[in-house]
């Protein structure tokens, strides 16, 4: 169960954090993983690391906010490998600032990375998936798509948008053999959250509020991605799979 043999998976933002954990898990499950990030040298280094253990991997560098490059990247994956079976829209960022100081430029930047780019990539991948009669689109959302904290309005809005976009694409693409789902991580110890991990007061607040009483691990999010990409999840569609140790359901 949960094998991805013969599948080609493009994972954006996969040189670090959750994306890197997903890349490792999908290679282990038998997929050919196309590593993506903004920097060619880092992409190639991570691709080589995946290949060391006999995994099938290649790399493609582009900034997801450069929409022509991102769409062209999807086409390049298909040209190189004959298909794009799995797309994971994982690249993301967060900006923290009180609302009075939250610059419009930062709002637009978060939206460009977290919401507009996933739509453009999903649209480009869907063309090839429809032609093949098969596809898995997985978006990295957040529990902040359902609940909220102060100082991150753009992030919360973008992840709420991801949940809505996931549902919309799921109902449109399901008849063509494509499922569209999202993962909603809670607090996971990655580079994106290091400012909180390293803040004793905030870190204690999170672990004390989480029923599991700890931070999540990247590989726990990666396991959810493998499940959603697998044949065993073929009837799971339009769903946001929350992986947060119970935080979002605790009072």
> Which residue of the set 39, 155, 187, 235 is catalytic?
155
- Spell out a b/e string for 136-173, using b for 16 or more CB atoms within 10 Å of the CB, else e: bbbbbbbbbbbeeeeebbbbbbbbbbbbebbbebbeeb
Cα-Cα-Cα-Cα dihedral sign, residues 93, 99, 100, 104 = positive
Length of the chain, in residues: 251
List all residues 6 or more positions away from 59 whose beta carbon is below 8 Å from its beta carbon: 34, 35, 36, 40, 43, 44, 46, 47
- What is the C-alpha separation between 189 and 193, in angstroms, rounded? 6
Q: Residue 33, class by beta-carbon neighbours within 10 Å (0-12 exposed, 13-18 middle, 19+ buried)? A: buried
Q: Confirm whether 155 is a catalytic residue.
A: yes
Active site residues: 155
């Amino acid at each position: 169960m949960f094998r991805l043999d013969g599948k080609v998976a493009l994972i954006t933002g996969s040189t670090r954090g959750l994306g890197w954990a997903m890349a490792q898990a999908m290679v282990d499950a038998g997929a050919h993983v196309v590593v993506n990030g903004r920097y060619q040298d880092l992409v190639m280094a991570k691709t080589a690391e995946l290949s060391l253990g006999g995994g099938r991997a290649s790399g493609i560098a582009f900034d997801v906010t450069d929409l022509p490059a991102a769409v062209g990247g999807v086409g390049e994956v298909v040209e190189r490998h004959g298909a794009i079976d799995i797309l994971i829209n994982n690249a993301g960022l967060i900006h923290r600032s009180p609302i009075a100081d939250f610059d419009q430029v930062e709002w637009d930047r978060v939206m460009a990375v977290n919401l507009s780019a996933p739509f453009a990539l999903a649209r480009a991948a869907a063309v090839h998936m429809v032609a093949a009669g098969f596809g898995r689109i997985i978006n990295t959302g957040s529990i902040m798509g359902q609940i909220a904290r102060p100082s991150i309005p753009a992030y919360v809005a973008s992840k709420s948008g991801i949940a809505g976009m996931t549902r919309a694409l799921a109902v449109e693409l399901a008849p063509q053999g494509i499922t569209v789902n999202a993962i909603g991580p809670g607090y996971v110890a990655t580079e994106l959250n290091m400012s909180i991990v390293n803040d004793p007061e905030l870190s204690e607040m999170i672990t004390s509020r989480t029923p599991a009483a700890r931070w999540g691990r990247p590989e726990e999010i990666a396991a959810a991605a493998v499940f959603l990409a697998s044949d065993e999840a073929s009837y799971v569609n339009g769903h946001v799979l929350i992986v947060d140790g119970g935080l979002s359901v605790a009072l």
